[in-house]
Amino acid sequence: PQVSAAQYGKDNIRVYKVHKDAKTGTQTVVEMTVCVLLKGDIETSYTKADNSVVVATDTMKNTVYIMAKQHPVTPPELFGAIVASHFVEKYKHIHSAWVKVVTHRWTRLTVGGEPHPHSFFRDGSETRNVEATADEGKGISIRSAIAGLLVLKSTGSAFHSFYKDEYTTLPDVYNRILSTEVDCGWTWSTFGSVAEVQSAVPKFDKAWESARTITLETFAKESSPSVQNTLYKMCEQILEAVSEVKAVDYSLPNKHYFEIDLSWHKGLKNTGKDAEVYAPQSDPNGLIQCTVTR
Ligand SMILES: O=c1[nH]c(=O)c2nn[nH]c2[nH]1
């Protein structure tokens, strides 16, 4: 037998960093969860119990904290690139490093109509994510993403004229609730170095804002004939809006809300145009995925 693939590292490294503006006293916080996975000449640690090639995962955790102290932690694209490149440059037997940065929402509180200098709240479990991969001699590839953005529309969605056969019971529907939890990613053209990522810094926040706005506004405005078609229209717009992005991907669960027929109770009308009370379904859920390139 032989090792066909191997990577190891530390997951769920939680990091908090505060920035204190000397002039205004305003403080800004960033909280993220980081995963580091390394690849390289590490087979013997599996096959021969040779630990000499093992950069301990504890060392990786320490390194993430030191990098967070010594470098900017925003935008997450830059921090991910810095950490991934560090491991490939520092250890000659490590040839690839994959770093995932999940940034959590600490939105500044407004108090008395004013932004509070050091108080924040968690407005949703939505996260801004980055996966940065440094491959020795090949540069840094970065996928930025929005995850966990839960949306619902109470009408403006249909699904009909689909393939029907002896296995099909789903009726055509011309007006339905549509809910999904957005996982949207956009992959940048490969960067040659951390310096190139640094030069692109102004583009990352703008791209995230564009992707988020396009997603929310298309979801709201589109009279959706299917998750598939609405997803594709989001991809088209993001590619149009962000020229440095070479691919956009979505993974959208279809979180169903079922009508409840209450006619058994004194003929109560609660289906079709009279539907008001629905049963939200935890499972099963549709799952619609697509990647669109230029
Ligand atoms: O938007 C939808 N796409 C589908 O593929 C599907 N299948 N059942 N309901 C569905 N809704």
DSSP 97-141: EEEEEEEPP-EEEEETTEEEEEEEE---S-EEEEEEEEETTTEEE
Q: Could you tell me the strand order of the sheet in which 94-103 lies?
A: 8-20, 27-40, 94-103, 127-135, 139-153, 178-188, 245-254, 286-293
Query: Strand 107-111 vs strand 94-103: parallel, antiparallel, or unpaired?
Result: unpaired
d(CA 52, CA 62) in angstroms, rounded, equals 19
pLDDT tens, residue by residue, 11-31? 999 999 999 999 999 999 999
pLDDT digits (tens, 9 = 90+) for 190-210: 999 999 999 999 999 999 999
CA distance 102 to 94: 23
pLDDT band at 186 (very low <50, low <70, confident <90, very high): very high
ipTM confidence: 0.97
Pull the structure tokens for residue 25.
Answer: 């006293």
Quote the ligand 1 centre to 159 CA distance (angstroms): 6
Angle in degrees, 0-180, between the axes of helices 227-241 and 201-221, rounded to the nearest 10: 150
Q: How far apart are CA 158 and CA 221, in angstroms?
A: 13
Residue 263: pLDDT band with limits 50, 70, 90: very high
Can you tell me which atom of ligand 1 is nearest the CA of 157? 1
pLDDT of the residue at 245: 98
User: Any idea which residues carry the catalytic annotation?
Assistant: 10, 57, 256
Q: How far is the CA of 226 from the centre of ligand 1 (A)?
A: 6
Ligand 1 pocket mutation pick from 153, 157, 159 by most atoms within 8 angstroms of CB: 159
**How many angstroms does the Cα of residue 175 sit away from the middle of ligand 1?**
13
For 146-172, the pLDDT digits (tens) are 999 999 999 999 999 999 999 999 999
Do residues 79 and 68 lie in contact, with contact meaning Cβ atoms separated by under 8 Å?
Answer: yes
Structure tokens at 169: 């019971």
> How long a stretch of residues is the chain?
294
pLDDT in tens, 63-77: 999 999 999 999 999
Cβ < 6 Å from ligand 1: which residues?
Answer: 159, 170, 226-228, 254, 286, 288
Going by CA atoms, what residue is nearest to atom 7 of ligand 1? 286
- Residue among 227, 229, 255, 285 to mutate when testing ligand 1 (max atoms within 8 A of CB): 227
Query: What is the per-residue pLDDT for 71?
Result: 98
**For a pocket test of ligand 1, which of 175, 179, 226 has the largest count of ligand atoms closer than 8 A to its C-beta?**
226
d(CA 32, CA 103): 4
61 three-state secondary structure: helix
Burial 128-156 (b: 16+ CB within 10 A, else e): bbbbbbbbeeebbbbbbbbbbbebebeee
Cα separations in angstroms, 132 against 11, 97, 139: 15, 8, 10
Report the separation in Å between the CA atom of 256 and the middle of ligand 1, taken as the mean of its atom positions.
Answer: 10
